[in-house]
Amino acid sequence: MKHFLKIEDFSSEQLDKLVVKANEFKKVRYQNILKNKTLITMFFNPSTRTKISFDLAITELGGHCVTLEPGKSSWGIEINEGAVMDSEAEEHLKDAIKVISRYADFVGIRCFPKFQDWEKERKDLILHNLAMWSEIPVVNMETISHPCQALAMLQTIKNKFKTFKKKKFVMSWAYHPKGLNTAVANSASVAASIVGMDVTIVNPPDYDLDPYFINLVKENCKVNDTEFSMTNNMDEAYEGADFIYIKSWGSLKQIGNFQPEIHNQYKNWKVDSNLMKKTNNAYISHCLPLRRNMLVTDEVLDSPNSLIYEEAENRLHVQKAILCELNNEWYRGK
């Protein structure tokens, strides 16, 4: 693979191969495969897990990582092509990536949409422009999608069930006081559909994910001859579920106009042990960070069926697998 941008760029077989490789890294953590290689990570938004796990992924394989925070500890970066740079940013993404390409072997980017103009933001131009201008492999560390998180989720599911077939995956919206990024829900739902799980997405009315992602999930389920459903009813969604992915996201109907009076109507969208009784003794996970007892109760989060820490750990292993695959593709004899 040339870049790691979107989960939908990969087949079930390719994702499975990455999970197998990630499990090898889970067994043997330190290997000198990426000796002297450098990863530059660019964080336009905060992070804990992504920052740590990418730095450790390359370090534990013999390379090292340099972290940039544009506009904070490094120069502000303009991301719009053709912009007259008369505001805060001192440098254009095009120039930054050309320079980074001369220093490093991989670049990762985190740049959330601002949820101000979804018609523009849904095109994920920063990611695509970066990939176009870059002379080194690009990894999406979360833009409008979060493929690294989705791959870690697949590793987590595979290690529990050994197979994805005939397993019911539920993408379950939960309440959070802010309108959060849809990225994790987008990639996780698509990932589950690619590998052949039955997929149900449950969210309040007017909180549907972008049709691009819904249609991808629908199409994959059709091709795989698996079940797909969307509902506004949590009880119905949880019936017989094997794996519940809990996530909050903002309504695309409230882009540029967040409406707390509508959003706060859904404070009762919280996962608790009563709801879990409807499932097939399902496992739950969440990408973290997470506000306890807002989205999900302590009782569920601290139960043996909670895989939140397992999935967070797996970020480290899958990202090693991704970097190694990219290195194989781009090998320049270094």
Task: Please report, as ranges, the residues that interact with ligand CP according to CB under 6 A.
Answer: 47-50, 142, 149, 287-289
Do the Cβ atoms of 61 and 31 come closer than 8 Å?
yes
- Shortest separation between residue 315's beta carbon and ligand CP, angstroms: 7
The token pair at 37 is 């290689």
- Shortest separation between residue 90's beta carbon and ligand CP, angstroms: 26
Complete DSSP assignment for 71-102: TTTB--EE-STT----SS--EEHHHHHHHHHH
Q: Taking the CB of residue 72, how many other CB atoms lie within 10 A of it?
A: 10
Give the SS3 label for residue 243.
Answer: strand
- Nearest residue (CB) to ligand CP, 188 versus 221: 188
- Nearest residue (CB) to ligand CP, 140 versus 279: 140
- Nearest residue (CB) to ligand CP, 100 versus 287: 287
- Nearest residue (CB) to ligand CP, 48 versus 265: 48
Name the maximum alpha-carbon separation found in the chain.
Answer: 58
Distance CA 314, CA 308 (A): 10
- Shortest separation between residue 98's beta carbon and ligand CP, angstroms: 27
Distance CA 204, CA 208 (A): 8
Q: Taking the CB of residue 305, how many other CB atoms lie within 10 A of it?
A: 17
- Nearest residue (CB) to ligand CP, 142 versus 208: 142
- Shortest separation between residue 303's beta carbon and ligand CP, angstroms: 20
- Shortest separation between residue 229's beta carbon and ligand CP, angstroms: 26
Distances (CA, A) of 274 to 72, 217, 312: 45, 28, 26
Do the Cβ atoms of 110 and 44 come closer than 8 Å?
yes
- Shortest separation between residue 308's beta carbon and ligand CP, angstroms: 10
Strands, sheet with 168-173, edge to edge from the N-terminal-most edge strand: 228-231, 198-202, 168-173, 243-247, 283-285
- Nearest residue (CB) to ligand CP, 143 versus 200: 143
- Shortest separation between residue 130's beta carbon and ligand CP, angstroms: 18
Distance CA 39, CA 182 (A): 26
- Nearest residue (CB) to ligand CP, 205 versus 289: 289
